[in-house]
A and B are shown apart, each in its own frame.
Chain A
Amino acid sequence: MRPLIRAVVLGLVGYVAGAWLTVAVRGGSPSDDVAVVFGFILGLIGWLMGIGVWNAWAREWFGLPAKPDQATGWKRYFTFNTDHKVIGIQYLVTFIAILLLGGAMALVMRMELARPGQDFLTLDAYNKLMSMHGILMVATAVAGVLGAFGNYLVPLMIGARDMAFPRVNALSFWLIPPVAIGLLSAPLLGSFDTGWTAYPPLSVVNQGGQVLFILAVTTFGLSSILGGLNIVTTVATMRAPGMTWGRLPIFVWGAFCASILSLLVTQFFAASLILILLDRVAGTTFFGAAAGGDPLLYQHMFWFYSHPAVYIMVLPAFGVMLEIITHLARKPLFAYKAVVAGFWGIVGLSTIVWAHHMFTSGMAEQLHAPFMALTEAISIPTGLVFLGALGTLWQGKLQSKTPLWLAFGWLFNFAIGGITGIYLADVATDIHLQDTYFVVAHFHYTIVGGTIFALIAGSYFWFPKITGRMYNERLGKIFAVWLTVGFNLVFIPLFWLGVNGLNRRVADYPEFYAGPNAFASVAAYILGAGFLLYAGNLLWSARRGPAAGPNPWNARTLEWQLPSPPPEHNFPLLPEVVGHPYDYGVPGSVHAAQEAAEGGEE
Chain B
Amino acid sequence: MNERGGYKQDAIRVGLLWLGLVVVLEAVWFATEILPRQYAEEAKIIDDAFNLLTILGIPVFSFVVAMLIYSAFRFRSRNDASEDGPPIKTSKPVVVTWLVVTSALALAILINPGLVGLAELRANPEADLVLEVEGQRWQWVVTYPNGAEVRDELVLPVDTRIRFDVTSVDVLHSFWVPGFRTKIDAVPGLVTSVYVTPTELGTFTDDVNLRLQCAELCGIGHARMVMPVRVVEKAEFESWMAEQLTAEAPAAEGRG
Contacts and interface: CB of A to CB of B under 8 A. Distances in A.
Nearest to B190: A362
A435 interface: yes
A403 to B, nearest CB: 14
Contact of A376 (B71, B109, B219): B109
B155 interface: no
Contact of B82 (A330, A332, A361): A330
Interface string A351-391: 00000000011100100110011001101100110110011
B106 A416 contact: no
A427 B77 contact: no
Contacts of A503: 176, 213-215
- B2, B45, B65, B71 interface centre (most CB from chain A within 10 Å): B71
A512 B206 CA distance: 11
Contacts of A200: 171
Contact of B118 (A127, A394, A423, A427): A427
A398 B208 contact: no
A245 to B, nearest CB: 17
B115 A369 contact: yes
Contacts of B75: 329, 393-398
Interface string B214-228: 111111111110000
A506 B106 contact: no
A123 B208 contact: no
Nearest to A382: B102
Interface in B60-116: 60-61, 64-65, 67-68, 71-72, 75-77, 80, 82-91, 94-95, 98-99, 102-103, 105-106, 109-110, 113-115
A201 interface: yes
Interface in A413-453: 415-416, 419, 422-423, 426-429, 431-432, 434-436
A197 to B, nearest CB: 8
Contact of A501 (B45, B105, B179): B179
B217 A505 contact: yes
B91 to A, nearest CB: 8
A332 B215 contact: no
B174 A435 contact: yes
Interface stretch (A21-29, A172-180, A259-267, A335-343): A335-343
Contact of A426 (B90, B98, B113, B222): B113
Contacts of B90: 334-338, 391
A506 B60 contact: no
B189 A293 contact: yes
B103 A499 contact: no
A202 B60 contact: no
A213 to B, nearest CB: 14
A103 B173 CA distance: 28
Contacts of A510: 208, 211
Interface residues of B, number: 84
B41 to A, nearest CB: 13
Contact of A428 (B49, B190, B213): B49
Contacts of B179: 501
A379 B85 contact: no
Interface string A59-78: 00000000000000000000
A416 B75 CA distance: 24
B34 interface: yes
Interface in B5-50: 7, 10, 34-36, 45-46, 49-50
A253 to B, nearest CB: 16
B203 interface: no
A511 B222 CA distance: 17
Interface of A: 123-124, 126-127, 193-195, 199-202, 205-206, 289-290, 292-296, 329-332, 334-338, 360-362, 365, 368-369, 372-373, 376-377, 379-380, 383-384, 386-387, 390-391, 393-400, 408, 411-412, 415-416, 419, 422-423, 426-429, 431-432, 434-436, 496, 499-501, 503, 505-513, 553-554, 583-586
Given A400-B76, A426-B109, A499-B50, 4 more contacts: A387-B94, A390-B68, A399-B77, A586-B87
> 9 tightest CB-CB pairs across the interface, nearest first?
A289-B189, A501-B178, A428-B117, A506-B223, A585-B84, A331-B85, A362-B192, A585-B87, A289-B188
